[in-house]
Amino acid sequence: MTSTSQLFKSSIFALNIEQNLLSDDNYLSWSHLLKLILDSEGLWEIVSGEETPPLPTAPPDEVASFRRNRRRALSIILLAAPATELYRYGIHSKDETDPKELWDKLKEGYRRRLHVWSIRQELYSVRLEECERVIRYTAKIKGLVHKYNFAKGDTEEGRMADDEHAFILVNGLPDSWRDAVIGFWLDKSLVNSPDRLEIAMRDYEISISFLREERTRNVTCYRCQEKGHYRNQCPN
């Protein structure tokens, strides 16, 4: 088996996989990154099952190449998944010989640990004020929607509908956004498109920031007599 130092020096580990090892709560981002790495090395088809073992009658070089690539794929997954985390899934690294079986065990093991209603509850409790910026707010919701869809099996029937995703985006906005929310709901192209709604929300946030700066541009601070801020915001 290829040594750890050799693998970490290879181009795939330039993506800092050592900083993104499998942990208790990062399976979705971990698996996405690892898929990219495996794909860049031409190994993803083996892990996904698209590339199957060659027939016994195949040329020896073809058989040897497949076995070598399967060992490489297995090594990469095991290096990115500490034994302590594998144990949470009931997996013992020394018993694993097939990268596809290991990948499927991790995927189904994580899905079994998820609770759909807990994820929904978390989705409806996300608030823009807690995230501070629209980009963080929408990213958090998108990540939870992805987790919800994964827990439901990532099937077309189980996936969260776009209009509910859009409703959740609006649900966590503060009262100061009331006029904007009314405008969002009147625009039918936004109601069924979370991506378009996110763009509209970012644009509105920029406009709010611009107007705020315009209002304070000529304000004079009573403390330092400088323009551009109020007394309670004075840095002096």
pLDDT tens string for the chain (236 positions)? 455 555 555 544 545 667 789 988 899 999 998 998 899 889 999 999 999 999 988 999 999 999 999 999 999 999 899 888 898 888 888 888 899 999 999 999 999 999 999 999 999 999 999 999 999 999 999 999 999 999 998 888 889 999 999 999 999 999 999 999 999 999 989 989 999 999 999 999 999 887 766 565 566 666 676 666 666 667 77
Could you tell me if 74 and 124 lie in one domain?
Answer: no
Task: Supply the pLDDT for residue 229.
Answer: 60
Could you tell me if 157 and 192 lie in one domain?
Answer: yes
> Are 151 and 114 a contacting pair, CB within 8 Å?
yes
Distance between CA 53 and CA 35 in Å, rounded? 20
Could you tell me if 37 and 92 lie in one domain?
Answer: yes
Amino acid (1-letter code) at residue 179: D
Could you tell me if 105 and 125 lie in one domain?
Answer: no
Distance between CA 156 and CA 29 in Å, rounded? 21
Could you tell me if 103 and 152 lie in one domain?
Answer: no
188: exposed, middle or buried (C-beta count within 10 Å: 0-12, 13-18, 19+)? exposed
Could you tell me if 129 and 103 lie in one domain?
Answer: no
Could you tell me if 42 and 137 lie in one domain?
Answer: no
The 10 Å Cβ neighbour count of residue 59 is: 9
Could you tell me if 37 and 142 lie in one domain?
Answer: no
Distance between CA 116 and CA 111 in Å, rounded? 10
Which of 55, 86, 113 lies at the terminal end of a domain, its last residue? 113
Could you tell me if 87 and 173 lie in one domain?
Answer: no
Could you tell me if 33 and 71 lie in one domain?
Answer: yes
In the DSSP assignment, the letter for residue 159 is S
Which of 113, 133, 157 lies at the terminal end of a domain, its last residue? 113
Q: How many domains, in total, are found in the chain? A: 2
> Are 134 and 128 a contacting pair, CB within 8 Å?
yes
Which of 66, 97, 113 lies at the terminal end of a domain, its last residue? 113
Could you tell me if 25 and 53 lie in one domain?
Answer: yes
Domain that holds residue 150: 116-233
Could you tell me if 131 and 82 lie in one domain?
Answer: no
